[in-house]
Structure 1
């Protein structure tokens, strides 16, 4: 809340003159610092259209971008946490669990679609930076355009390191550091990194009494009659995030398609299913009950011990900082006594 204090005319005049002098000095200082900061080169990534291999590619910034298109909700929320909401001109793929701390600011943004958006819609926002999840940098209908094609039009890109094969949750810290550097808001980036690391440390501390990891398998289904096991072999970020709460993907080394028979033979301790907040909240419970009552799965430990858990899709495959929120929620559900 802004407060106005009425002072005597003489004192007001003196303070006004003083403020003007101070303000001019600050602006000059800020300008000088900005000039020293740019041009700035950040090492990032590119891949060929339809490809899966990421190669390093530098992005040069002559100044801080003014018009950012964020290709997913988690990407936009990261920017909001760094105080960059006024620079976001469009958000694609606006689905998934919200970050409550920036939900009010997020609601004011230009939401382009609840689903993935294409290159034409992306360019319609007239961005000078396209930012977010790597898998969406493609010229397909669901893609914002390849890195190279956008760069050729004079548009900078930033592919989240967390969304590139080989990433871990620590890649999030590198992304925040890089964006803090690009926008010259290093203090905010440092503060946000500390907040996340404190949260991670707290989770680790609460689970310190657990000596062994449990195994899990991910079932990509919202219908118990249509079972699909996703090995997530190349999903290094996904696999690392679950390590945070001492869960190990039983199929992380499998590159082949996983059959139901393979799932039963592997017999993981836990089964994870996806959840979308936009759906009927009870749907995940219906899926659980359907799996528990499936006679084909009845011999599995996870079924016998009632160890099926639903996790919001964005917490697993949004490649964002708020994956830690999903893991904390899951840990509290699995080990409620350790989080009292």
Structure 2
């Protein structure tokens, strides 16, 4: 499976010489309501687990680098368009309600961006998906590295291990505090909670979960079963539509033979059509239905194969709710 992550670094030091008599203690003026301290996260280079790390803001950030499209779209809902100086990983189904504003932003790449690109916009805050805070070519740099350079960080709570859809509400609360837009944050949070409650109400009559497996591949001729172990956000959003990941406890690779033997009720594939040269969900579904290896599976026999946009599954944002709403309409049209 092809994975990518993104990293960003920039540092700058100014030294001023003056005689002892000229030296003065100058206090940086604090903006009203600041400083603000939020609990956030850090992960050491090469480590597997995230640790809690506070971030303190003396004022609202002015130059924000969003490392993914879903991260940027959330800021737009909070009225922060003018704060965004760059966006990486511009792909996936757009949020139609902010699409016009998003298209006016500085799109840095349709792929995950490296640190040089990220730092080229001189951010004072690097924000977004946790997995992209790394010192690899595709990463924006670790949290500690960026902080040591004087750049604040905001790792989405939803994107670290143990994150769930409810973690998005924590992220919205914290962003409201950091940017002093708590009213906007409360309004958007209420809107999402109302949608989530409506979905839950529609599906109350469905008492039993079905099992599912996720086939992560960009080529219909290939089959790769992604167990999504420790992908707590991914597994949580599918629970919203009464689906339980049959391989969530698997730590290693899952063979196609094991997939067939386990025989989950539903198969989920990714829809890549929003990416350049990407294949549509319809074609992915059709290829699975025609795959002779899988012909004995009940998901194939019952045509319970569904395509979901990649960002709905792995964008770790509020957009996942729309993806799950669409999936619910396909799975349970009578509800």
- Give the TM-score, by structure 2 length: 0.89
- Higher RCO (CA 8 Å, separation ≥ 6 residues): 2
Q: Residue 144 of structure 1 is aligned with which of 140, 145, 155?
A: 140
Separation in 1 of the partners of 2:126 and 2:276?
Answer: 29
1:47 aligned onto 2:43? yes
Separation in 2 of the partners of 1:273 and 1:296?
Answer: 16
Deviations 1:99-147 (A, max 9, x none): 0010010011000000000111111111110000000001111001111
Indicate conservation of the 8 Å contact 2:218/2:279, yes or no. Answer: no
Separation in 1 of the partners of 2:285 and 2:56?
Answer: 49
Q: Give the aligned length.
A: 305
Indicate conservation of the 8 Å contact 2:218/2:278, yes or no. Answer: no
Separation in 2 of the partners of 1:85 and 1:50?
Answer: 34
Higher helix share: 1
Separation in 2 of the partners of 1:97 and 1:214?
Answer: 26
Post-superposition shift, 1:209? Answer: 1.1
Indicate conservation of the 8 Å contact 2:271/2:284, yes or no. Answer: no
Indicate conservation of the 8 Å contact 2:90/2:110, yes or no. Answer: yes
Q: Residue 112 of structure 1 is aligned with which of 108, 118, 134?
A: 108
Larger Rg: 1
Q: Residue 237 of structure 2 is aligned with which of 238, 241, 244?
A: 241
Indicate conservation of the 8 Å contact 1:54/1:164, yes or no. Answer: yes
1:25 is matched with which residue?
A: none
1:184 aligned onto 2:180? yes
2:284 is matched with which residue?
A: 287
Separation in 2 of the partners of 1:101 and 1:289?
Answer: 31
Indicate conservation of the 8 Å contact 1:222/1:284, yes or no. Answer: no
1:306 is matched with which residue?
A: 303
| Local SS of the residue matching 1:271 | strand
Separation in 1 of the partners of 2:218 and 2:121?
Answer: 34
2:94 is matched with which residue?
A: 98
Q: Residue 327 of structure 2 is aligned with which of 306, 325, 330?
A: 330
| Local SS of the residue matching 1:331 | helix
Deviations 1:54-93 (A, max 9, x none): 1111111000000000000000000000000000000000
Q: Give the superposed CA RMSD.
A: 1.3
Post-superposition shift, 1:37? Answer: 1.3
1:318 aligned onto 2:311? no
Deviations 1:169-224 (A, max 9, x none): 00000000000000111111000000000000011111111110111000001323
Indicate conservation of the 8 Å contact 2:42/2:51, yes or no. Answer: yes
| Local SS of the residue matching 2:334 | helix
1:200 is matched with which residue?
A: 196
Q: How does 1:152-301 map to 2 (within 5 A)?
A: 152-276=148-272, 277-278=274-275, 283-301=280-298
Deviations 1:298-324 (A, max 9, x none): 111100000111100000001011100
Post-superposition shift, 1:243? Answer: 0.5
Post-superposition shift, 1:282? Answer: 6.4
Q: Judge which range, 281-290 or 158-167, deviates more.
A: 281-290
2:3 is matched with which residue?
A: none
Flag structure 2 segments of 5+ consecutive residues without an equivalent.
1-29
Q: Residue 81 of structure 1 is aligned with which of 77, 83, 89?
A: 77
Separation in 1 of the partners of 2:286 and 2:73?
Answer: 34
Separation in 1 of the partners of 2:279 and 2:170?
Answer: 37
Separation in 2 of the partners of 1:75 and 1:282?
Answer: 24
